[in-house]
Structure 1
């Protein structure tokens, strides 16, 4: 009989230990779930960043392909003053959008039209997207596309939201 009473006192002392183990396991699980959710958010941010970089690179590549087609207007393309940083008022097509499609253009008008199209693409495809081009190292034109708060006229692609494409016009 004595041994029977000893078992009862052991059981009563262990009451609630299983609940504490479950609560500790639940705490560890919740920390793991929060960590996983944080990783998912980070992955989503990286996906957006890579999407913006691809869009910016495509816009810069488009401008890089237009410059050799119109070599007489290289001075217009490579002048930072040609690339207004003013935002478009809304997402509608800017004035002069079809000027070189429906009418005839000289080389200077074609360069201005190319710049207008590139600016509009940057503005509509990127958050606060802006583009600039200027003469950089010997015989090169640097095309810079920036988004968010990055200023394309003064941008470091290693630390800011921008891409820089160096082009050697023919």
Structure 2
């Protein structure tokens, strides 16, 4: 009888210990699952970013001589030899926030004409008109305006995927002439900004990398060279 009294509750303690061990194992598995989901999301957004980079690289190749001067959302056609000229792709793609109407029409002004993706001046013609006895497209856009339209389309896709992008001169390309500039496409997501800067205040604190192109700790972004 005395032996049985000492054994009372032992089974319950064993069950509690087993439950504790099982809980620890489940918590570890849950943490692993969260990490796996996070890695999957990171891989997906990187794949989307690479697609955007390829699209912008194709635009660069299609419009190699498209240079502009200006700032904000308004630009004027220029030659590459002008001291303040920059590639049109860089100018339009790097606009922090594009003007938008209630219908979501994004635009950038090129040579005094607001170019849009799906609005009035979208550079897409479904008809013709007669000028000097010749039939020409209903909408006649310059090469720079066509380039702007293509870049705005990439910019819109990036917004829909919650990816911020910018096109800048690659850090290692300082000594090259304007026409030989090598451009870098910077894509960023979550709280990271598509910037390469050494500053650490304000929005610069969330920059993708420093001025030398070295990624900052904790940044979620991708820097790709475009030729």
Q: What TM-score do you get using the length of structure 2 for normalisation?
A: 0.62
Q: Which residue pairs with 2:124 in the alignment?
A: 101
**Aligned pairs (5 A) from 1:128-167:** 129-136=163-170, 137=173, 138=176, 139-154=181-196, 155-156=208-209, 157=215, 159=217, 160-167=219-226
Confirm or deny that 1:123 pairs with 2:159.
Answer: yes
**Which ranges of structure 1 fall in alignment gaps of 5 or more residues?**
1-7
Maintained 8 Å contact 1:88/1:123? no
CA distance in 2 between counterparts of 1:105 and 1:27 reads 71
Displacement of 1:107 after TM fit?
1.3
Displacement of 1:115 after TM fit?
2.1
Q: CA RMSD in A?
A: 2.3
Higher helix residue share:
1
SS of 2:20 mapped into structure 1: helix
**Which ranges of structure 2 fall in alignment gaps of 5 or more residues?**
68-86, 108-115, 126-138, 197-207, 210-214
Report which stretch shifted further, 146-155 or 34-43: 146-155
Maintained 8 Å contact 1:118/1:131? no
More RCO (CA 8 Å, sep 6+) = 1
Higher strand residue share:
2
Confirm or deny that 1:85 pairs with 2:101.
Answer: no
CA deviations on 1:20-42 (whole Å, 9 max, x unpaired) are: 01110111101111111111111
Alignment: residue pair count: 158
Maintained 8 Å contact 2:93/2:155? no
Q: What TM-score do you get using the length of structure 1 for normalisation?
A: 0.81
Report which stretch shifted further, 154-163 or 46-55: 154-163
